Structure 1
Amino acid sequence: MSALDPLWARGRAFLGTETAIMGGAMSWVSERHLVSAISNAGGFGVIACGSMTPELLDAEIAATKALTTKPFGVNLITMHPQLLELIAVCVRHGVGHVVLAGGLPSAAAVRAVKEGGAKLVCFAPALVLAKRLIRSGADALVIEGSEAGGHIGPVSLAVLAQEILPVITEVPVFVAGGIGRGEAILAFLEMGAAGVQLGTRFAASAESIAHPNFKAAFLKANARDAIPSVQLDARFPVIPVRGLANAGTARFVEHQAETIRRFQAGELDKEQAQLSIEHFWAGALRRAVIEGDVEQGSVMAGQSVGMVTAIQPVAEIIAELIAQADAAFAARATVRQPDASIEAA
């Protein structure tokens, strides 16, 4: 038995798993092999649908079900033009949990998930939105801090947890962003979290299909190497994405500067300039994850990347996290125990 068992009992019950550890949905990474490995190890794997068509998602869910009989979920982007069809695919497969990310879900999407019999998980970047999502029908929330890899919000998990966990008690709340050790998991559970979500450590796991170059970049990196994308001009917004600094990130800054120069010279209108900036990274994540181009590709990683010190099997990562949490809990109990010699004196 782990000291975490009573602390994450609510999260385990909600997910139907042995541990309340969710896998972050990472495009090109969170596919059948990694998702099934996380679920088979007692966690909760989540397929990253990303830009998949309904046909591709159907095949990915079927392939994942062939590799595990344990619960897993599917992460869908709310802005996907075929969102309702993707939800229908999940419902047909009996997927128990649908995660809607990338913005506030529409009433139609919420209704489709709920009427299909799945539990709805949503991302809440602020307390006011957390309350709104619960009113809309969310069965659980994920609060993800800016320490996370990939697309990020502006607020750290340390602040979000203090803002949201003491207030939101109606539904389970899972925390994400920068979590790489069991001591942190214990601390957030003690604050009221129902469970945690990890991405970066699993991205570099043995079961991850990411290219060896991608994993090697994680092993070499420190926390300070995982930086958010830079925006040069407020007129041309850049959605912040956290990844490892490389030649591509330097070239992106140069591309923005050149695009802004061309706009100011009248060579591009504003829409053309914005599209030029937005399209810079098209296909860059696949180049890094699948092809191994970690210099020009987008090597998305959270600040916990500095805690990736080996390529480990998923089951070993989860066991290590739990052992760290249990050791921290035991150490706290020892500190709280009064010294008998002092009492005797």
Structure 2
Amino acid sequence: MTDYPLTTARMARGAEFLGSKYAILCGAMSWVSERNLVAAISNGGGFGVIACGAMTPDLLDAEIAGTKALTDKPFGVNIITMHPQLPELIDVCAKHGVGHVVLAGGIPPKGSVESIKAFGAKVIVFAPTLALAKKLLRSGADALVIEGMEAGGHIGPVSTSVLAQEFLPSLAEDHIVFVAGGIGRGEAIAGYLEMGAAGVQLGTRFACASESIAHPDFKKAFFRASARDAVASVQVDSRLPVIPVRALKNKGTEEFTAKQREVAGLLDSGAVEMGEAQLQIEHYWAGALRRAVIDGDVENGSLMAGQSVGMVREEEPAARIIAKLMEESEAALARR
């Protein structure tokens, strides 16, 4: 017997793949998804994921070690594919025997999937289109996350519900597919599981967990916000392909528009190459997010949040958030 037999039965493949009690991943949120929250989610039955973000190999080394000191449960590491030290970060994961590596932010560079699988880890990737998803899975990726535009942070142009209808009928039977973006309650989890998803990923719902080190003012901004406050950034120059970012509207979102103009000017003058221009944008977000999460500057920092932010109303332990999601999913499936 399990506490949530209908839900756990539908999550069985995903949970087995992750090695966790429930197939609920925490989306990697820079500065938020660090050892305390990651360990709390894994200890609570979910699957925590360290957000490597702009970390150096030494910082990631310390973060993995710190997480291991807080949990004996499985957890993963999310690495941005455009990170200039990607091979070294993969080596750090190998050193610690990390079981799952999530490659995010673009198509994995040649050899990266192979180098991760070489030390026995599972590779989880993101794909914006069904054709690319099939290609990545053929190329060795072990699981896929499809993430809709309702999510916080970097987003694509298509909603979660449409992506689920595109991907799941073609992939769910033979592959491990997790659904993400805008999920805030268990009823939504139940729906995606019924469609064939092996599990789900949530970020915003966990950002204000009791164990999250996010500044109290950052959390208060979430508690006050509604879905309509989480807006996508605007691209100001088509020559600079900036991936949109969803965050709570504030002065920081306006400053990003100015930053794009600055970087586009450098690109036009030949002062920087495209790769460097994109890295400058990434570094902007890393700094702006730190100002909000760590320093509590909710006016000028980046309050990255998904549209499910309106369902985040109070601080709760991560284990309780997971239990509520499972209870809601179980009740929804029982009503079917």
Q: What is the CA-CA distance between 1:106 and the residue it aligns to?
A: 2.5
More divergent stretch after superposition (269-278 vs 112-121): 269-278
Q: 1:242-321 maps to which residues of 2 (within 5 A)? A: 242-253=246-257, 269-271=268-270, 278=281, 281=285, 283-321=287-325
2:62 matches 1:56? no
2: CA distance between counterparts of 1:237 and 1:110?
25
More divergent stretch after superposition (223-232 vs 176-185): 223-232
- Quote the residue 1:99 is aligned against: 102
Q: 1:133 aligns with which of 131, 136, 150?
A: 136
Render the CA deviation track for 1:96-151: whole Å, top value 9, x for unaligned.
11111111112311111111110111111110011001111011111111111001
2: CA distance between counterparts of 1:59 and 1:282?
19
Quick check: 1:173–1:193 contact (8 Å CA) kept in 2? yes
Q: What is the CA-CA distance between 1:280 and the residue it aligns to?
A: 5.5
Q: TM-score when scaled to structure 1? A: 0.90
2: CA distance between counterparts of 1:147 and 1:85?
32
- Quote the residue 1:44 is aligned against: 47
Cα RMSD after superposing both structures: 2.1
2: CA distance between counterparts of 1:46 and 1:230?
28
Q: 1:210 aligns with which of 208, 214, 239?
A: 214
Quick check: 2:54–2:286 contact (8 Å CA) kept in 1? no
Quick check: 1:229–1:238 contact (8 Å CA) kept in 2? no
2: CA distance between counterparts of 1:67 and 1:149?
27
Q: What is the CA-CA distance between 1:232 and the residue it aligns to?
A: 2.8
Q: Supply the AA of the counterpart residue of 2:288.
A: A
2: CA distance between counterparts of 1:98 and 1:144?
17
Q: Supply the AA of the counterpart residue of 1:298.
A: S
Render the CA deviation track for 1:208-256: whole Å, top value 9, x for unaligned.
0000011100000000100110123323443200000012223444666
Task: State the aligned residue count.
Answer: 327
2: CA distance between counterparts of 1:135 and 1:268?
36
- Quote the residue 1:340 is aligned against: none
Quick check: 1:107–1:136 contact (8 Å CA) kept in 2? no
2: CA distance between counterparts of 1:108 and 1:255?
33
Quick check: 2:156–2:243 contact (8 Å CA) kept in 1? no
| Residue ranges of structure 1 left out of the alignment (5+ in a row) | 333-345
In structure 2, do the counterparts of structure 1 residues 220 and 116 end up closer, same or farther at CA, with 3 Å as the change threshold? same
SS of the aligned residue for 2:53 comes to coil
Q: What is the CA-CA distance between 1:57 and the residue it aligns to?
A: 0.8
Render the CA deviation track for 1:70-110: whole Å, top value 9, x for unaligned.
00001111111211111111111111111111111123111
Higher Rg: 1
- Quote the residue 2:185 is aligned against: 181
SS of the aligned residue for 2:111 comes to helix
| Residue ranges of structure 2 left out of the alignment (5+ in a row) | none
Identity over aligned pairs, percent: 66
